[in-house]
Amino acid sequence: MTVAFVPVRGGSKSIPLKNIKEFCGKPLVYWCLQSLHDCSGIDKIVVATDSPVIKTVVQSFNFPRVSVYDRKPENAVDTASTESVMLEYIEAANLSNDDIFILVQATSPLTKTEDFKESLELYNSRKYDSILTCVRNFRFFWNDDGTSKNYDYRSRPRRQDFDGTFMENGAFYINAVKNIKETKNRLSGKIGIYEMPEYTSSEIDEPDDWIILEHLMQRHILKKRKKDYSKIRLVLTDVDGVLTDGGMYYSENGDEMKKFNTRDGMAIQLLREDGIKTGIITSEDTEIVARRAKKIKVDFCIQGKRNGGKLSAAKEICKNLGISLAETAYIGDDINCKELLESVGFAFCPNDAQIEILRIPNIVVLKTKGGCGVVREMARFIKEKM
């Protein structure tokens, strides 16, 4: 069995609760868990924390292979080593000596699924007893006595002619449980180096690191990430401004009316035929929406969700289906949709959405306006990408 272990304390002093602080639209710890969850070679992912708040946030991701371990208080203080909580968990979980143990740092959010896959292949080649991640550093270093450490200053090399020096970046480490128990260390025996890109050299310790790594995340990871639309298991939609044009219509008797687009009804049917569950989540609470939901046969219709209620409703639906928000698509158009749009794996909006929604990183801005068959366009987009 291969176990990924992510220790996250609640007592960070430089950035309080940094492991669940929003980083590129999601809690920091989310990014390493998503990369681990997408790695088929990892059987179990464990988050070890002393914080009930962090525990609740991690569980809200609904990643099926992620569980939370309540670490002992004495192994969550500033002076406790990471090895101490590793050994605590190994003993508590009664892991086999042959199990592979991956220590993963949540403060290195730029680690990709490919990094875990390739490093496990390196470890399973049996050339090394343990693996650590490094970046190649092209800086020149000096000793306290004024002597150069890694180059000859009298014959200063050009960068392109300099091999550089490997620097540990702290992203993750791989070892066998047997070795960790014997040496009480994350590394042992013949150590192999898995080289990562230079932009992964930093990890988040101070507020300035946060600013730098968010920029690097956007540039090197998010902009290049190709989403796998075949993973979508649930499609959710808002009502006003999406299924309708956002207009409020009234009869002479004062009855409220909404105009829906029949093409969106076909979209729900097509998604259903592809085995994708569908649902409506709206802050309104009207019989009109209930009747429309029944007619187009959505699987879920949840109304009256305000002030963050949309996200909690989506989480509850995911829990019932046994899926995660990462496997969910949502289309919304206004600021009361923003929290949910930033949390799902696949975010969509009409082209006349509010500016705060249009600026959400990696949201798919469709060509159609709300109420004009935008959900039909969304369904077509998903179908073409699957």
Does position 254 have pLDDT exceeding 80, yes or no?
A: no
Nearest to 243 by CA among 209, 282, 271, 210: 282
For residues 74-109, one letter each, b for 16 or more C-beta atoms within 10 angstroms of the residue's C-beta and e for the rest, the string is: ebbeeebeeebbbbbbbeebebeeebbbbbbbbbbb
267 in Cβ contact with 375 (< 8 Å): yes
What is the per-residue pLDDT across 325-368, written as a single tens digit (0 to 9) for each?
989 999 999 999 999 998 899 999 999 999 999 988 789 999 99
Res. 52: pLDDT tops 70: yes
Q: Beta-carbon neighbour count of residue 304 at 10 Å?
A: 12
Distances (CA, A) of 341 to 86, 87, 111, 332, 335: 35, 39, 23, 7, 10
Q: For the chain, what is the mean pLDDT?
A: 93
Question: How do strand 364-365 and strand 346-349 relate by DSSP bridges?
Answer: parallel
Q: Is the pLDDT of residue 14 over 90?
A: no
Q: pLDDT, tens digit, for every residue of 78-137?
A: 889 999 999 999 999 999 999 999 999 999 999 999 999 999 999 999 999 999 999 999
pLDDT for 143 beyond 90: yes
Q: Which two tokens stand for residue 144?
A: 């306290």
Joined together, the tokens standing for residue 249 give 């219509």
Q: What distances in angstroms separate CA 75 from CA 4, 45, 56, 101, one per listed residue?
A: 18, 19, 20, 19
> Residue 326 is encoded by which pair of tokens?
């990462």
Q: Helix or strand or coil: residue 3?
A: strand
Residue with tokens 């892991």: 95
- Positive or negative, the CA dihedral 216, 219, 224, 228 is positive
Q: What is the pLDDT of residue 153?
A: 87
Task: Answer for the pair 334, 316: CB distance below 8 angstroms, yes or no.
Answer: no
Structure-token pair, residue 304:
């009256």
**Count, residues in the chain:** 386
pLDDT at 279 over 80: yes
* Element (DSSP H or E) covering residue 45: strand 44-49
Between these two residues, 254 and 36, which has the higher pLDDT value? 36
In whole angstroms, what is the distance from residue 169 CA to residue 203 CA?
A: 7
> How confident is the model over 200-248, as pLDDT tens digits?
999 998 889 999 999 999 888 887 777 889 999 999 999 999 999 988 7
